[in-house]
Structure 1
Amino acid sequence: MNKPLPVSIPTPSSLLFARRTLIAALAATPVLPALAQFRVEVSGVGLTQLPIALVPFKGQDASPQKISEIVQADLERSGQFRGVDASGQALDEASRPDLALWRQRTADSLVVGSVTRLADGRFDVRFRLWDVVRGQDLGGQSYTVPQGDLRLASHRIADYVYEKLTGDKGIFSTRIAYVTKGGSRYSLWVADADGENAQAALASPEPIISPVWSSNGQQLAYVSFESRKPVVYVHNVASGQRRLLANFRGSNSAPAWAPDGGSLAVTLSRDGGSQLYTIPASGGEPRRLTQSASIDTEPVYSADGSTIYFVSDRGGAPQIYKMGASGGAPTRVTFSGTYNISPSVSGDGRWLAYISRVGGAFKLHVMELATGNVSAITDTSADESPSFAPNSKLIVYATHLQGREALMTTTLDGKIKARLAGQGGDIREPDWGPFQKQ
């Protein structure tokens, strides 16, 4: 993975820290299939997983999607739940289950439901959640959706269950963006949080890197090499329309949305070395934030918008620093290791995820910002591009696993990982989108 860029592609110094920009790593890969579908493989054991039973939804054998299976996969991938055998039972949302039976099966909670095809072709999806231990009905919901939204309905059921049982908001109906290379073609994809239902937002014969969601989930900023140099675009996900944001002299890279959506931080070399600037989301003249002889790049905002974390070699090697969102004197954040890049800050402000080079391997690390305590949470050696789920409980990242490119999610302690493995093509650059308005 740690290779130079191809000679035919510009190599602005501002991009060299980020392994996401090492386009040569995207070279010899098989041709991407028409849709980048994934399978979910969950591994690891958490300390406090909640046992939950999901009875196959009544009518789902005739449904294009197996609702209960999608919900169970979501919950298990979170690291908070483990499935309990629910075979041999026929229940739906109107049933009064024998909770003593489910206690015998060691379930703490129970999900039942149904899916019915309506005369107009839509589907009626209903469910109910039971607290088996307390013998309580925890409510339920119903959704009337077209066939294409059956997976979304399943994810919303998982969100409901997750929030009721953990107190934290579920992230299963959110979306991720990522980039693939198949043959000589690069594609920017938007997919469900489990990697399924991928839709191509953009395809190009030139590299696409660094996609990042706006805080309202309606836009993606990214860097394209269509002009044979890095240029920043903003892309409307719903309409597919895009606009040029930054195409100044030199390189334009590493966009990061401010939480209010009104501006972006970018790395520009327009005035010489690579430095940080802010630019209005509608475009316009950038305002310079850093004034150094070093390379400053990869900005990310804290959730409250008050702080920018970034990568700089001002100390002699790439490390992560922070400063006020309007600039000012930076403070160094990472001290463990000699090469730390690709910062991502959790929405609750508690955690910093980043990539550290350890003995030639690139590994995902998580720092608790209040204490500075750092944990290495992977045993792989080519990790890149970490991004927090909007509830701050999971991280998505790209890596090499068993000789293949893969997207992974992990809990913050590294105990539960899920592999979202593509069927072909090189998968890179994941970014986890915000909560969706329902």
Structure 2
Amino acid sequence: MKRMVALTGMIMMLLVSMTARAEGDLTIEITKGNDQAMPIAVVPFQADGNNPPQDIARIISNDLQHSGQFSPLERSEMLSTPASGEQIHYADWQQLKANYLVVGSIEQSGNGYRISWELHDVYGNKRMIGESVTSSADQLRSRAHYIADRIFKAITGIRGAFQTRIAYVSATGVDDNMQFALYVADQDGHNTQQVLSSDQPILSPAWSPDGQKLAYVSFESGRPAIYVQQLSTGKRVKLSSFEGINGAPSWSPDGRKLAMSLSRDGQPEIYVMNVASRSLTRMTRSEAIETEPDWSPDGSTLLFTSDRSGQPQLYTMSSNGGSASRLTFTGNYNAGGQYGPDGEAVFMSTRTDRGFQVAKQNLETDRVTVLTSTAQDEAPAVAPNGTMVVYATQQGSQGVLGAVSADGRAEFVIPSPSGNVREPAWSPFLN
């Protein structure tokens, strides 16, 4: 019972700390750059006389910079502004020490636009890739993210994640006047859409593997319940509303099951629900708090947080059931674990002498690497290509989303325009 009271208290403390709602797009602010990032120049795209509603080159440049792996050249430093390969003088860009060069143009085409772009290897004096794509006015940001994905893959060999989305929770007001909202936005914080609003708390959004649905916890019925909502239609269903805690939903890789934390039989334990039949399988049996489950990429293993050792630590067990094994031994607090997409590492919130920070544990060597430099970092969510991690943190008295590269070399924050945000979740690849 004492653990139940403590857990409820922790949840309420989190809710009280969420005091303002994000309104409009979020804005990324670089807080630490990667001094080993690859120099690249993204030249402003030549327009046909009519300024398009979006600066395609700027969006591409920002995407690449926010990945932590590229250092874009400032426009003021550019010696020329070529729009195609025929106009490039490679010596100019070699003088500026740019390894790669992106050029392009945008022109009106019917009711929309045609974007032509090329990626060049500066020191190889050659064109790497390029194409022309069409776009409506409201798709221009998406097209820019698509181009950034192509460039990222061509240079790094890793699939880009710039067309993915993030979900997060926010709140406004104080005490009995608080209002909560669930949002989704592009990975760079733009194109914000409200999924749900409520005068009761919303927690733990989780993307389905196909990116079409969100599972989350809502208190709108007077107690916590787990819902699944279709993003395209807004249609939703209530999956779990047992007495006590219904929390921390996590989709299986095949989208057929949800792992969750339920206290229907006493203490919070890990359960797995078949989404179609609603049948439940209890996975853990202990006197401890068991919560925050996550599936390994192949679906064979469940990762979860437990205080069975006396302190929150990460444990793993077969998704078919059986005994659990302790995974984390460094420090006295490790929680909120999530597998990287390749299954080779786990990301988590850990307590250090500086506070709570995001860390990564290599599953082969068990080496733990602290990634963030701030002191109130929690709820890490990993990009589907494994290169970045988004998390909840504080900037002064304001709750914001932070992000860090998976090697810890680059950090940035995504502050809301008007208040605190929490509970981030990064979508899978959407196409």
TM class, shorter-length: over 0.9
The offset of 1:271, in angstroms, is: 1.3
Quote the residue 2:88 is aligned against: 97
Mapped partners of 1:15, 1:82: distance in 2 = 45
Is 2:296–2:302's contact at 8 Å kept on the other side of the alignment? yes
Is 1:20–1:428's contact at 8 Å kept on the other side of the alignment? no
* 1:385 equivalenced with 2:379 (yes/no): yes
Mapped partners of 1:226, 1:164: distance in 2 = 47
Mapped partners of 1:230, 1:247: distance in 2 = 7
Residues 274 and 85 of structure 1: CA distance in aligned 2, closer, same or farther (over 3 Å): closer
- Code of the aligned partner of 2:133: Y
Is 2:346–2:361's contact at 8 Å kept on the other side of the alignment? yes
**Among 124, 130, 137, which residue is 1:140 paired with?**
130
Quote the residue 1:158 is aligned against: 148
* 1:428 equivalenced with 2:419 (yes/no): no
Quote the residue 1:256 is aligned against: 250
Mapped partners of 1:219, 1:90: distance in 2 = 43
**Among 41, 61, 66, which residue is 2:55 paired with?**
66
**Among 390, 394, 406, which residue is 1:396 paired with?**
390
- Number of aligned residue pairs: 423
Mapped partners of 2:355, 2:378: distance in 1 = 11
**Among 34, 44, 55, which residue is 2:43 paired with?**
55
Mapped partners of 2:225, 2:416: distance in 1 = 28
Quote the residue 1:3 is aligned against: none
The offset of 1:364, in angstroms, is: 1.4
* 1:41 equivalenced with 2:34 (yes/no): no
> Which whole-Å deviations, capped at 9, do the CAs of 1:136-158 have from their partners, x for residues lacking one?
21121332222221111111111
* 1:226-265 alignment, distance < 5 Å: 226-265=220-259
Is 1:298–1:311's contact at 8 Å kept on the other side of the alignment? yes
* 1:419 equivalenced with 2:410 (yes/no): no
Is 1:257–1:264's contact at 8 Å kept on the other side of the alignment? yes
- Code of the aligned partner of 1:137: R
**Among 161, 174, 183, which residue is 1:171 paired with?**
161
* 1:111 equivalenced with 2:105 (yes/no): no
- Code of the aligned partner of 1:169: R
* 1:198 equivalenced with 2:192 (yes/no): yes
**Among 176, 180, 188, which residue is 1:186 paired with?**
180
Quote the residue 1:209 is aligned against: 203
* 1:281 equivalenced with 2:275 (yes/no): yes
Is 1:273–1:293's contact at 8 Å kept on the other side of the alignment? yes
Is 2:246–2:260's contact at 8 Å kept on the other side of the alignment? yes
Q: Return structure 1 stretches of 4+ with deviation > 6 angstroms.
A: 17-21
The offset of 1:22, in angstroms, is: 3.8
Is 1:20–1:429's contact at 8 Å kept on the other side of the alignment? no
> Which whole-Å deviations, capped at 9, do the CAs of 1:26-46 have from their partners, x for residues lacking one?
35x34543x2x2222223242
Counterpart of 1:297 in 2: which secondary structure?
strand
Counterpart of 1:248 in 2: which secondary structure?
coil
Mapped partners of 1:30, 1:333: distance in 2 = 36
- Code of the aligned partner of 1:310: F
Is 1:17–1:318's contact at 8 Å kept on the other side of the alignment? no
> Which whole-Å deviations, capped at 9, do the CAs of 1:318-344 have from their partners, x for residues lacking one?
111000012211010111111221111
Is 2:22–2:416's contact at 8 Å kept on the other side of the alignment? no
Is 1:20–1:385's contact at 8 Å kept on the other side of the alignment? no
Structure 1, unaligned stretches of length 5 or more? 1-10
> Which whole-Å deviations, capped at 9, do the CAs of 1:117-144 have from their partners, x for residues lacking one?
3332x22222111111111211213322
Mapped partners of 1:415, 1:399: distance in 2 = 18
Mapped partners of 2:6, 2:187: distance in 1 = 28
Quote the residue 1:408 is aligned against: 402
- Code of the aligned partner of 2:333: Y
Counterpart of 2:314 in 1: which secondary structure?
strand
> Which whole-Å deviations, capped at 9, do the CAs of 1:84-103 have from their partners, x for residues lacking one?
24535332246441112211
**Among 211, 221, 231, which residue is 2:215 paired with?**
221
* 1:79 equivalenced with 2:68 (yes/no): yes
Q: State the TM-score, normalized to the length of structure 1.
A: 0.92
Is 2:33–2:411's contact at 8 Å kept on the other side of the alignment? no
Q: State the TM-score, normalized to the length of structure 2.
A: 0.93
Residues 419 and 174 of structure 1: CA distance in aligned 2, closer, same or farther (over 3 Å): same
Structure 2, unaligned stretches of length 5 or more? none
Mapped partners of 1:319, 1:399: distance in 2 = 20
Counterpart of 1:300 in 2: which secondary structure?
strand
Aligned Cα RMSD in Å? 2.1
